[in-house]
């Protein structure tokens, strides 16, 4: 089950998931009711894929409570503390079984990003006719003699943690990662990444990726992924949900209970991914 993805740009991260819960051996039909992205701090999120929703719910609850008590300004250290706590807590909870879980932690950190100068130059030349270039790049003085160009913070940090072993892989900078049975969505991201990089406004990027993911879920025809596409952004301004209205057709938002809601404005049909499902 599950599609989770995190995409890092110059000034923001977009975090995406579906809402489907599917069951082993089809003992129950799939349900599109599961919230899979949770806030850890003002500038970080955790998303998950799992083969044991109930176990993961207990683990997520403990992680988010620990995170709430461990708010520090150094976001990279904060994420390191969280991954250590997650590993310890998983081992304490996993007595009778060891579920397979993947967490993606997404955070904006106060650390510059070093990129190869020739790579940056190629990107800028490819999109030199664009009306928008991220401010932190357009103000740079790029010296071709320097092999590396330092991009000012904040910088995306994407960390993937695999259980039951608790192993971690991470990337700092402009990158993306996808996990779960919807991992084929990574190709769709690759196809539009460079264009989105030079697209204005974080909210706009979030809406485009949300709609791209929705199209992927339909075209993939995979019974283990689907439902409401939940989308968050992380920027220097913090974590924000991507909520929008599509004319007279539909709107997507988080309600007062923290549930993700997709409302069909023509039929009045409402779909929800619930905050307190566990």
Task: Point out the residues of the chain with pLDDT beneath 70.
Answer: 25-27, 276-278
Integer Cα distance of 214 and 229 in angstroms: 6
Q: Domains (ranges, CATH) in the chain?
A: 3-111+153-244 (3.60.20.10), 116-151 (no CATH)
* Helix 75-93 vs helix 53-68: crossing angle, to nearest 10: 140
Residues 36/47, Cβ–Cβ less than 8 Å: yes
In tens, the pLDDT along 8-40 reads 999 999 999 999 987 776 667 778 889 999 999
Q: What is the pTM of this model?
A: 0.94
pLDDT for 274 equals 83
pLDDT for 276 equals 64
Give the contacts of 236 (CB within 8 A, at least 6 positions apart).
11, 108, 154
Nearest to 45 by CA among 20, 71, 79: 79
Rg (CA), the chain: 19
């Amino acid at each position: 089950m599950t599609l989770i993805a995190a995409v890092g740009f110059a000034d923001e991260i977009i975090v995406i998931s579906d809402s489907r819960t599917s069951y082993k051996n089809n003992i129950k039909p799939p349900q599109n009711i599961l919230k899979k992205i949770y806030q850890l701090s003002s500038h970080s999120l955790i998303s998950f894929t799992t083969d044991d929703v109930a176990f993961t719910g207990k683990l997520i609850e403990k992680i988010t409570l620990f995170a709430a008590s461990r708010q520090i300004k150094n976001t990279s250290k904060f994420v390191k503390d969280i991954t250590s706590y997650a590993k310890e807590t998983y081992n304490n909870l996993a007595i009778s079984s060891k579920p397979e879980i993947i967490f993606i932690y997404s955070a904006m950190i106060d650390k510059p990003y070093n990129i190869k100068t020739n790579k940056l130059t190629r990107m800028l030349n490819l999109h030199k006719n664009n009306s928008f270039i991220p401010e932190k790049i357009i103000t740079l003085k790029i010296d071709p003699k320097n092999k590396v160009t330092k991009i000012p913070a904040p910088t995306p940090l994407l960390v993937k943690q695999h259980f039951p072993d608790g192993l971690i892989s991470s990337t700092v900078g402009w990158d993306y990662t996808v996990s779960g049975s919807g991992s084929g969505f990574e190709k769709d991201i690759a196809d539009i990444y460079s264009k989105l990089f030079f697209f204005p406004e974080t909210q706009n990027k979030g809406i485009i990726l949300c709609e791209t993911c929705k199209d992927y879920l339909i075209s993939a025809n995979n019974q283990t992924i689907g439902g409401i596409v939940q989308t968050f952004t992380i920027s220097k301004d913090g974590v924000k949900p991507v909520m929008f209205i599509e004319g007279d057709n539909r709107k997507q938002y988080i309600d007062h209970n923290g549930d993700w809601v997709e409302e069909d404005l023509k039929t009045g049909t409402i779909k929800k991914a619930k905050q307190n499902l566990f």
